[in-house]
Structure 1
Amino acid sequence: MIYKLGAAIAGLFIAAAVPAAAASAAPVKPDLQFAHVTLTPTDGKQQIVDFWAYEQSYTLHDVTAVIDTSKVPAGVTASLWFPDVETSCKDAGTTITCKFDALPSDEGMALIGFVNYQSKDAKVGAEGTASVKVTSRELGTITRSTKVTVAEGVDLAVDDTLQDITVKPGATVQVPLGVRNNGATAITGVDVFFFIDPWYGMAKHYSNCLYGASAGYCHFDTVLKAHTSYALSEDMGVKIRADVPAPSTIGQTFDWLTPNDNSDNIDLVNGQKPKRGTDGTLSLKAKPAALAKSLPQTDTSLGIDHQDALFEVTGTQNGDVAAVGAEVEGATGATVTAKVGVKNLGPAFEFGFPKAAAKVTVTAPAGTTVVSVPEGCVKSGSAYACTTTVSPLNVNASVTWPFKLRIDRPGTLTGSVVVASFQPDVTRGNDTAKLVVNPPAGAHNGAGDHGGQGGGGLPITGAPAAWIGGAGVLLLGGGASAYIISRRKRARFVA
């Protein structure tokens, strides 16, 4: 399996590594996608309107979306794409209205519809806007606006699309990158966009690049001459984490785009309070004369011009998921809270993508009733299945879920916490811990093993005390198929 986290995903499990404090599992709310549009004077471009939350299952109800295209540039028209298929949407002049009693997600995407922008002799450089307003029972009212720009067409390309590099944990990899102007029109500046995944970091941070929490981009003022290839002034350094699981295959994608086509990615990075680098300037190996005038530009070739680097991580190291049990005390009839879950003892972090880092099965003690099921957990037979959403689950990090239990009878009552990982586990003997209600006096050492390491009991929870274990979106260019391809591509590598 190849591990390539991410998308647009912007931000779904990729944002920040889990801190040493315990985390609770909470569902990710879907984000309304409404990308910027850049098209040529005689071309068309399709825009998707959807909700997106990677690999999250959700359904929105009583959904109404109103798309206003009255302020697009002169010479540009906008209409519903696939009107015979999207029967939930209706065109009325410069307004598209879509209504859904229920809008379910499919692999994280809940599609509202496609907007088809067409230009007929519009003026290059003309700009306008479009907007969408969506209401739903679950999310209330959300609005988005987007720029619509008329640009001259250019043709970006890359020569080498895939590199396979063998590395060791903790190594810094040098990735050669370059771009080509495949057309006859000079390209007045270019960007390279990349995600910053939790399994590695950028070795250098350049002054012409902005780096956010999970994504970054570099801008090059170089004028790309027609039919000419360019390379970076130095290879892009990627530092692999020393605690990466091994063997594994992880990877990085670098997208080459015109600054106009990079608009949505720029918004993504700017929304993460990015920092500009201080390690000098990264440039392209070319020094053509500057053009007298710079116009908006858009890449008219199909798909995204990207370069992938696969890092084959050698060696043997894995994470060690351990069950986190609990002991609670209370009188018969009382309700107590037991925080149970999973801890990663290392020495490697646990990938949380494309599958969860761990699944925890919680069986409440006989003689108790679960009166409150925490978010991230569902009933599974006579037990409850809880799934982590953090990615990665770092070494010494925990995820716990607070179960509220009503004590229905006196005496010591014992349940269990069992953890399973979707990756190799260093030690299987610590995958089970106890969930004990009212342990015998002086016996507070058997409910769990404080993260599976044994020795010493867990502190009492409930009334006496509380314990928590240590712990973009790309524009559719060239049709729906191109959008889906780019969407899936941006679910970045992981193995």
Structure 2
Amino acid sequence: MTMLLRARYALAGAVSLLVVGSLALPARAAEGPGEFAYVGILGPETVTVINGQTKTVKVDLYNVGDGAVEDVRLTFGSAAQPISADLGFTAPAGCAANVCDLGDLKPGQRRSVKFTVKPTAADPVYAIALATSIGEKPSDQTSITVVGTDKGGVDLEVDDIADLKLRPGGSAEVPVAIRNSGDKAVPALGLVVVAPLGVKPALNYSNCEQDAEIGGFVCVFNDTMAAGGVFTLPENTPLRVTVPKDTAGPFDYPVLVAAVGLTDKYVFDFAKRTGGASGRELRLESVASLSAGEPEAVEDLNGDDNLAEFAVSVPRTAADSAAVGAVFRGAVGGTATVEVGAHNLGPSATIPLSLASVQYAHVRLPTGVALTKVDERCLPGTSLDDIDESAGDLSEVTDLVCIVVESVPDNGRYLFALTAEILDVTEHRAGSVQLSGSVQDSRKGNDKAALTVESTAGGEGGGLPITGAPAGLIAGGGAALLTVGLIAFRLARRRRIVTVAG
């Protein structure tokens, strides 16, 4: 498999991490507002250390619960698995021994901590247990394996990048520093920048190309990166990020910056594709002048620290969401399909799904209809805090909660398809579509629309059979969606970046 394919798979896992807050958010449907508290740990599965050297390891803590949490603590080691003295473990700055008191975290907030290891035993293998707690109640736990090696190799690292605050239409330069903390040089380097949810990286250089599969830019530097060297982008060829004028807020838009070692073949193929590109070339410059001989191609010892992630925080913008109603039209005994939901009247887009904001429609069905099919983004219930997990047959469901899971552009619609059998009754009392949850919508007069029935007396009868809800959706209710989010989080936590340099 080529380097680029492997890099794409790795980046896909990293992007999953960046949006995992959105996936985890239906916790409120399962337990009620403010009742689900969880601080997850995201760190490398394995760390390889060149014997005799010190290695810095970063772990990120994420509040993936539905409210702020207080008294967050990160603990290294345990009574059952103490940290070996031979590991040369040094706790993060500001921590007492192996315990870090991190204070409070807002919903969706990330906190990074760094510790160092310097194994002293020959060919060591150690395990470091990590655990989070909230107010002394256990939350997440994981472990990191530390492996020593005399073989050496390339070890690329991307320095942390501070979060930015930008208004729609604004832009800023992003400082990028890449270091090779290994003992072998890198013959060629790839810089990958991904912004999956709306912020735009600006890399209009002749040695950069947009890659639709990863949803970002790939820039290639056909220069040797010396062992122990630190490299950055010059002031005259920076990385910039821009916020389009119609970007929605308040929201923290994630951006990923990654460095990967490249094979000669990939560099050659890239040069063929971009050989006729015009414009300036993006270059790296050495922070400290070092030299090294031409190395043999080797793998990166630690792929997990090849990337840095940061957020571009956009302040609140206005987006007036109007409810979209509909009419079930058809013959008695037949079925009819309608589309209901939200129409964004602008002037900006709506923010993506987040822990801080969940826009949804409460659909109250009119009398005299029985659901036969429901949109997969809808659950039985009246609000996020009142999901009916006991609902069985669709024909018995009278209320639905339909979640807006994507950003809706100005003048865009976000609709949910519902199919129902029209029953033979003397009266069809109207239902409704009620929008809730938007932090951008200050106009409430258009948040409700009617959902009605127009039937004819005759009909061929029978209609479609009532098949029940999609498997696991209604039976699991909010708990099912919560499980999806936590599974995604744990999979992202175990992501691996595989760099092929030979």
Q: 1:311 to 1:297 in 2, by over 3 A?
A: same
How far apart in 2 are the matches of 1:488 and 1:379?
38
Over aligned residue pairs, what C-alpha RMSD do you find?
4.3
CA offset digits 1:117-157 (Å, max 9, x no partner): xxxxxxxxxxxxxxxxxxxxxxxxxxxxxxxxxx9711223
Q: 1:8 to 1:345 in 2, by over 3 A?
A: farther
Q: 1:396 to 1:209 in 2, by over 3 A?
A: same
Q: Does 1:222 align with 2:223?
A: yes
Matches within 5 A, 1:65-104: none
Gaps of 5+ in 2: 1-10, 20-47, 52-63, 65-150, 382-387, 389-397, 457-488, 498-502
Q: Which residue of 2 aligns with 1:8?
A: 13
CA offset digits 1:381-429 (Å, max 9, x no partner): 4312222333x22222212222222222255541111222353323222
Q: 1:317 to 1:236 in 2, by over 3 A?
A: same
TM-score by length of 1: 0.52
Q: Which residue of 2 aligns with 1:426?
A: 442
Q: Does 1:406 align with 2:409?
A: no
How far apart in 2 are the matches of 1:13 and 1:397?
25
How far apart in 2 are the matches of 1:289 and 1:41?
20
Give the helix-richer structure, 1 or 2: 2
- State the Cα distance separating 1:336 from its structure 2 match: 1.6
How far apart in 2 are the matches of 1:345 and 1:206?
37
Percentage of matched positions with identical amino acids = 24
Q: Which residue of 2 aligns with 1:195?
A: 194
Matches within 5 A, 1:24-63: none
Q: Which residue of 1 aligns with 2:408?
A: 393
1:298 aligns to what SS in structure 2? coil
Kept in 2, the 8 Å contact 1:152–1:298? The answer is no
Q: Which residue of 1 aligns with 2:318?
A: 318
- State the Cα distance separating 1:167 from its structure 2 match: 2.1
- State the Cα distance separating 1:292 from its structure 2 match: 7.6
Q: Which residue of 2 aligns with 1:245?
A: 248
Kept in 1, the 8 Å contact 2:173–2:238? The answer is yes
Q: Which amino acid aligns with 1:184?
A: D
Q: Does 1:255 align with 2:258?
A: yes
Give aligned pairs, total.
303
Kept in 2, the 8 Å contact 1:210–1:277? The answer is no
CA offset digits 1:241-295 (Å, max 9, x no partner): 21223444334221222236xx9xx9xxx9xx99997543211115999988553
Q: Which residue of 2 aligns with 1:181?
A: 180
Gaps of 5+ in 1: 1-5, 15-38, 43-54, 56-150, 441-480, 490-495
CA offset digits 1:56-94 (Å, max 9, x no partner): xxxxxxxxxxxxxxxxxxxxxxxxxxxxxxxxxxxxxxx
Matches within 5 A, 1:290-305: 295-301=296-302, 303-305=304-306
One of 417, 432, 452 as aligned partner of 2:433: 417
Kept in 2, the 8 Å contact 1:350–1:357? The answer is no
Q: 1:40 to 1:399 in 2, by over 3 A?
A: same
Kept in 2, the 8 Å contact 1:177–1:307? The answer is no
Matches within 5 A, 1:217-366: 217-233=218-234, 234-259=237-262, 279-286=279-286, 295-301=296-302, 303-314=304-315, 316-354=316-354, 358-366=359-367
How far apart in 2 are the matches of 1:363 and 1:399?
18
1:162 aligns to what SS in structure 2? coil
Q: 1:202 to 1:182 in 2, by over 3 A?
A: same
Q: Which amino acid aligns with 1:337?
A: T
Q: 1:398 to 1:245 in 2, by over 3 A?
A: same
Q: Which amino acid aligns with 1:429?
A: G
Kept in 1, the 8 Å contact 2:15–2:256? The answer is no
Q: 1:357 to 1:348 in 2, by over 3 A?
A: farther
How far apart in 2 are the matches of 1:429 and 1:277?
53
Q: Which residue of 2 aligns with 1:165?
A: 164
Give the strand-richer structure, 1 or 2: 1
Q: 1:13 to 1:231 in 2, by over 3 A?
A: closer
1:8 aligns to what SS in structure 2? helix
Kept in 2, the 8 Å contact 1:164–1:310? The answer is yes
CA offset digits 1:450-487 (Å, max 9, x no partner): xxxxxxxxxxxxxxxxxxxxxxxxxxxxxxx9985474
